[in-house]
Structures are given as structure tokens and as C-alpha cells.
Amino acid sequence: MKFSLFLLCFHAATLFVTAHRSALNDYQRSKGLELVHMNNGGVKQEIQSEIQVCAKQCSDLLDCRSFVYNWKSQSCRLLPWTQNSANVLLQRNVQYDLYQKKDYIRDCVVGNGNTYRGTVSKTKSGRTCQRWRLKFPHDHKFSPIHWPDLEENYCRNPDSDPEGPWCYTTDKNIRHQYCGIKKCEDAVCLTCNGEDYRGSVDRTESGKECQRWDLQTPHAHPYKPEKYPDKSLDDNYCRNPDSSERPWCYTTDPNVEKEFCRITKCKKQRLSNIEITSTCFKERGEGYRGKANTTTSGIPCQRWDSQTPQSHRFLPEKYPCKGLDENYCRNPDGSEAPWCFTTLPGMRMAYCFQIKRCKDDVLEPDCYHGNGELYSGRVSKTRKGIKCRRWEEKRNDLELSLDQPYLVPLEENYCRNPDRDSHGPWCYTMDPNTPFDYCAIKPCEGEKC
């Protein structure tokens, strides 16, 4: 009786947590993109529905791998392909956002990889995989008829092998081998405190699934992706938007707000894209390593390895790349300038503005109004740090897609918004795997996000 009651309570708790899980968690979102098949066959009819319903419908269908959502008409189109499918192209379309099932497009595996649906078709040693539908050179029981996910000769894990995805090989002397696809926690390693981590881990270290950053349930939070474009708060992947000691996420468990994520650390630990200075500071001063140790008004700074009189989380051993030596002014949390905790009990912290800004420093990127269609600044990198492509290289493609003239000249490779995209300024990129991306420029203060 007690055991039955325990099972009942366990299932009730499981259903409670599952009820707070969004169907969108299974998808990777790409703003302003759609998939176009060269012969356009098999496209599902557009459905008038909420996005959560579209995601659920696609998840329930074996032949649905992605969908595009039109926010203006509140409708979606279910698709049987992804960007990795044959004869399929990614195409910019500001009317749509593209949602693709993660299992089909990520290049790493979760757990033992039994849900992996990618297109790797060689083993770890470089041998070509045998097609699953063939019985030569190796006979086997895994028929695509009974295992419909066994496509082509792609690596799969139909028997839940703990070593991960594998395949039969085309070498008659070697029956099968593992494919060596990395686990997501190992695929992109962690540098320093992981503020620049852009991997695809979406589980906490205790195994809880992460909540999407663009949702406010089950936990309401301030980290909306549109307010922090430079933090890459994509889908429900672990990130570090608040300079915590390592990446974390909100969870889909209503009883646990957030947890850290388990991600392998890089062998070499170093700050990326931050210039080290000692006599002045650049941008926000995150690279300042000088010896100023008083505040602007001359109050002595507290040592970073001390917890008195101010108790704090910035312990040098937890932030090895932040230069938290002695009691020197530093900027470990991305504030506007170097600062320190003070030795006065009644004053927690203060800035060190007596440190001058370097003469050759570039000013902070400016903001944009409305949708940024009038933005004329000189930012030329995307929110993911990818260098922008010169507009003249894609001018023909762009003009074909515009239904009205652009308002600001398309100069150099500067971020612009010629098609009045509601997500703000963007650019074509130099990365062949990322046709375009939005830029890390924030809306001006007081503008709606």
C-alpha cells in the first residue's frame, strides 16, 4: 500500500514538472530565416495556431523536423526537413522565425546519443559507414523498417550503447565502430568563467532541463534575449549573463529556480577579445590590470580575498581570469568601469574613475531607435562575435528581397536594417554556416523591447 502511494506521488510530481516544460525546448530558433527546398515538395499546409501548439504538433509527427512561424499572422508551416537535408537552402525572410529540432542539427550528443539524428557518416578512425538498409558487407538486424531513424549511412545508436552513436563499416574486416561524436558538455569547452560560452548544453549538473530564455515560465526573470543581445541567450542553452562563476540556467522544475551546468573546462584558460592594460582602461575596463587601489574619492579598496567588511562572491580562486590580485581596482562583472569593494563598512563598493580612459579607446557601441532602420553606427560584428560581410557582396540578393527602399546607406560591413526587421540591425556574415546574424546593439534607453 505504501509503495503504491509512493508511486502515485512520484508520477504526480513528474507530471507537475512536465506540465511546465515547453514543447519549444526541443527546437533551436533562428530569427528571420526560412528553409526553401529546391523542388518544394511535401510542404505542409500553413496552420493558424499559437507557437507552442505548432511545436507540439511537429514533435508528435515522425515526418516533421522543423517549422517556420509567422508572428504577424500567428501561423506556422510544418516541414519534413532541416538545413542539413539535401536540396534545402537557408533563406532570409523577416516574416518568419525558423525552429528546427535540435537532435537533427546539433553536432554533439546528449547522454548516450540515442536521440542523435545528425549526418555524421564516418567512424572515429575515418572509415565510411555502411548504409543501414544494406546487408553487405555486414549482415545485421537493424532495419530502417523497424527503426525509421536509421537513415542513409548516418551514425546512430539504435541499441542505446553507452559508448554513443556507431555504425557498421564498409570495410569487410571491421564490422562496426563508434563515431566519436563528442558529448555536448565536451564539444565546446569552458574558458575562464564562461561569459563567452556559446555551446549547446541544455541540462544542469543535476540533470534538470533548462528553461528557455525567451519564456517566463515556470520562472520569471530579467534576462530577456532582446535586452541582452550580446549574451547570446539562445533557446534554453546554459549561459552566464551575470558574471557568475560559471554558466547556469533557469530550470523547468518550478521548485528549483536555477542551477549551474556541467561543462568541461578548456586546457588553456585565457580572456578572449579583451585587451590587457595597466595605466589606463579601454571600453569597460575588464582588461585593466594596473595597481590603482583606491576609489575615486580616495577610499582604500578591500582585498578581493577578504570577506570583511564586505562579504562578496568574487573570490580570486573562483574567477581566475579576472586579475583579482591584492586590493586593486578591477571589473569582474562587466560594470561600466573598474571598481572595488571599500574598507568602509557603510560603503559597499565604489568606482575608480581616477583611472583614465585610454586615448585610443573606441567608444561604447551606440543604441538604436525603433527597429533600427535609421541606425548608422559602425558596429561590424554580430552578437555572436562573427565579422560582418561587406554589403556590396550581397547587394543583389538583398535588393531582390526588399519591397521598399532602405533609409540608410549600406556602407562597408556596418550593421544596418535595410528591410526594417523587427529584431533590429543585422548583417550578412563571413561564416558560411551563419548566413546572417543580428548585431549586439541595444535599443536606446526607454525604447520598448
- Residue 206 grid cell: 543535476
Between CA 93 and CA 18 the distance in angstroms is 33
- Residue 343 grid cell: 574598507
pLDDT at 407 over 90: no
Residue 435: what pLDDT?
86
What backbone torsions phi and psi does residue 248 show, to the nearest 5 degrees?
-150, 180
Mean pLDDT, the chain, rounded, equals 89
83-97 average pLDDT score: 90
Alpha helices per DSSP H over 285-430: 395-401
Structural domains of the chain sorted by starting position, each given as residue range(s) with its CATH number in brackets: 21-102 (3.50.4.10), 109-181 (2.40.20.10), 202-273 (2.40.20.10), 278-357 (2.40.20.10), 366-449 (2.40.20.10)
Q: Are 27 and 235 in contact, with CB atoms under 8 Å apart?
A: yes
87 HSE (CA, 13 A, CB side): 7
Higher-confidence residue of 138 and 411: namely 138
Its pTM stands at 0.80
pLDDT at 322 over 90: yes
Q: Are 332 and 319 in contact, with CB atoms under 8 Å apart?
A: yes
Higher-confidence residue of 104 and 436: namely 104
pLDDT in tens, 293-314: 999 999 999 999 999 999 999 9
Widest pairwise Cα distance in the chain: 80
Fill in the DSSP letter of residue 227.
Answer: G
Residue 445: what pLDDT?
74
